């Protein structure tokens, strides 16, 4: 078990491609931390720098208090599990799992095979020990690759999208299994994925990256409920947060957000918005914070039904704010650029009670849960409500 510290870590490839910039983070000993972000956001580069497979351009990385910038990979006490498993095809499962220990330790063969047996038991694969990798399913190969990492009893596990080659059902199962295994061993782990759902379900904390920069770090619940900026708000959560263009107008007892929608907000939120750097705001509302009403009221949002998707426990309503007749406008856009609508038609969604809208409903009244709305400064993308607390969270030493 070891903590991992990143201090002002920067990585530039070929003198010009900035892959990671100003990355500061402390991962606690025994913590399961997930690095999540879109493709190209710098996740693998960070992981490879911890592993020692990539030089660090600037800053320091320490493992267990020791700076490892110049330490060769084999001296870092880490074990890595890759997307490709990287098993040796000509060796049995037993020999694959024993390989690293034979090379890097002075343990006797007896001790090594004892450990391999124990870990095979933990991973539920004792009956596969004499098989070759090509005889195994994807899920079994994944277990062997993870087992091979565990056998080494490293201070740190590094996982690079280890489940992405598995089908959806197996991926969910392996998620739980990896999590259980990590909790049992209490080994510090960094897990890289582009899949926000994987990040949400597995991690103690999530660090969200975009363009090589840390956007926010927090527990899954934290980043979901208190997104620091619009990027995090839209990246975390599925279906993603609905966003509306609005401006702010002060009133006697608070204010209003007007534009795509027209909503009254209370004095506390109005005060936060007054600190924004611009008049242009983005209003964010998660699909579960929108409800449908049959009747209009002062604070409703009129919307048009696009599609209703039954999902079992609830339905997913796709709605639009203006009656654009989406099929017609999409068709027009493909016919001629000039005919394309000026504004981008956004896909907006709400979770609703099954059958709460009749199948032929066209116009509906929506209500937004005003306690749960998010307001972002359109220039900086920052969440106007959580600025102070989140700045402290990102830079705890500041």
- Which residues contact ligand ADP by CB under 6 A? 13-14, 17, 19, 37, 39-45
- Beta-carbon contacts of residue 72 (< 8 Å; ≥ 6 apart): 52
Least distance from ligand ADP to the Cβ atom of residue 55, Å: 11
| Residue 256 buriedness (CB in 10 A; 0-12 / 13-18 / 19+) | middle
Q: Residue 394 has what DSSP assignment?
A: H
Name which of 4 and 122 has its Cβ closer to ligand ADP: 4
Least distance from ligand ADP to the Cβ atom of residue 59, Å: 16
- CA distances 312 to 288, 315, 367, Å, are 15, 7, 22
Q: What are phi and psi of 281, to 5 degrees?
A: -125, 160
For residue 11, give both structure tokens: 């990585």
Name which of 53 and 335 has its Cβ closer to ligand ADP: 53
Least distance from ligand ADP to the Cβ atom of residue 42, Å: 4
Least distance from ligand ADP to the Cβ atom of residue 157, Å: 17
Closest CA to 321 of 385, 244, 377, 223: 244
> Which strands, in side-by-side order, build the sheet including 213-218?
78-81, 156-160, 188-193, 32-36, 205-210, 213-218
Closest CA to 276 of 229, 222, 218: 229
Least distance from ligand ADP to the Cβ atom of residue 271, Å: 38
Name which of 54 and 280 has its Cβ closer to ligand ADP: 54
Q: How many other CB atoms are found less than 10 A from the CB of residue 42?
A: 23
Least distance from ligand ADP to the Cβ atom of residue 209, Å: 7
Least distance from ligand ADP to the Cβ atom of residue 347, Å: 25
Least distance from ligand ADP to the Cβ atom of residue 11, Å: 8
Least distance from ligand ADP to the Cβ atom of residue 37, Å: 6
Name which of 42 and 133 has its Cβ closer to ligand ADP: 42
Name which of 35 and 79 has its Cβ closer to ligand ADP: 35
Least distance from ligand ADP to the Cβ atom of residue 51, Å: 12
**Cβ contact 192:113 at 8 Å:** no
Q: What are phi and psi of 71, to 5 degrees?
A: -80, 130
Name which of 41 and 203 has its Cβ closer to ligand ADP: 41
For residue 93, give both structure tokens: 């499962």
Q: 3-state class of 30 per DSSP?
A: coil
Q: How many other CB atoms are found less than 10 A from the CB of residue 75?
A: 12
For residue 53, give both structure tokens: 């497979």
Name which of 17 and 271 has its Cβ closer to ligand ADP: 17
Name which of 13 and 88 has its Cβ closer to ligand ADP: 13
The span from the CA of 285 to the CA of 306, in Å, is: 18
For residue 46, give both structure tokens: 């960070």
| Residue 330 buriedness (CB in 10 A; 0-12 / 13-18 / 19+) | middle
Q: How many other CB atoms are found less than 10 A from the CB of residue 378?
A: 19
Name which of 40 and 100 has its Cβ closer to ligand ADP: 40
> Which strands, in side-by-side order, build the sheet including 262-265?
262-265, 254-259, 242-251, 280-285, 374-377
Name which of 96 and 215 has its Cβ closer to ligand ADP: 215
Q: What are phi and psi of 178, to 5 degrees?
A: -65, -40
């Amino acid at each position: 078990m070891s903590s991992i510290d990143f201090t002002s870590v920067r990585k530039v490839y070929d003198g010009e491609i900035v892959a990671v910039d100003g990355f500061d983070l402390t991962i606690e000993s025994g913590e399961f931390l997930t690095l999540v972000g879109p493709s190209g956001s710098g996740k693998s580069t960070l992981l490879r720098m911890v592993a020692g497979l990539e030089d660090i351009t600037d800053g320091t990385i320490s493992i267990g208090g020791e700076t490892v910038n110049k330490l060769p990979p084999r001296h870092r006490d880490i074990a890595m599990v890759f997307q490709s498993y990287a098993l040796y095809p000509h060796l049995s499962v037993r020999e694959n799992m024993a390989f690293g220990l034979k090379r890097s330790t002075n343990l006797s063969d007896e001790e090594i095979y004892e450990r391999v047996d124990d870990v095979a038991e933990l991973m539920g694969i004792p009956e596969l020990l004499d098989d070759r990798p090509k005889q195994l399913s994807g899920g079994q190969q994944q277990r062997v690759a993870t087992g091979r990492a565990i056998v080494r009893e490293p201070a740190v596990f590094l996982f690079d999208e280890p489940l992405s080659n598995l089908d959806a059902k197996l991926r969910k199962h392996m998620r739980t299994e990896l999590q259980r295994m990590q909790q049992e061993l209490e080994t510090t782990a960094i897990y890289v994925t582009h899949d926000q759902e994987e990040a949400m379900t597995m991690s103690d904390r999530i660090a969200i990256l975009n363009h090589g920069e840390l956007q926010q770090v927090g527990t899954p619940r934290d980043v979901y409920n208190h997104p620091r900026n619009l990027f995090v708000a839209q990246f975390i959560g599925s279906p993603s947060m609905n966003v509306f263009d609005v401006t702010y107008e002060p009133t006697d007892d608070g204010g209003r957000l007007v534009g795509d929608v027209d909503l009254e907000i209370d004095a506390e939120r109005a005060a936060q918005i007054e600190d924004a750097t611009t008049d242009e705001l983005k209003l964010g509302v998660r699909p579960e914070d929108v409800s449908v009403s049959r009747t209009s009221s002062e604070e409703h949002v009129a919307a048009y039904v696009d599609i209703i998707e039954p999902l079992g426990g609830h339905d997913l309503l796709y709605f639009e704010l203006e009656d654009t007749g989406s099929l017609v406008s999409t068709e027009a856009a493909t016919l001629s650029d000039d005919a394309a609508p000026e504004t981008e038609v956004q896909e907006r969604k709400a979770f609703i009670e099954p059958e709460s809208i009749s199948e032929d409903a066209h116009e509906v009244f929506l209500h937004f849960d005003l306690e749960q709305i998010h307001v972002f400064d359109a220039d900086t993308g920052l969440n106007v409500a959580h600025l102070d607390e989140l700045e402290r969270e990102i830079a705890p030493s500041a």
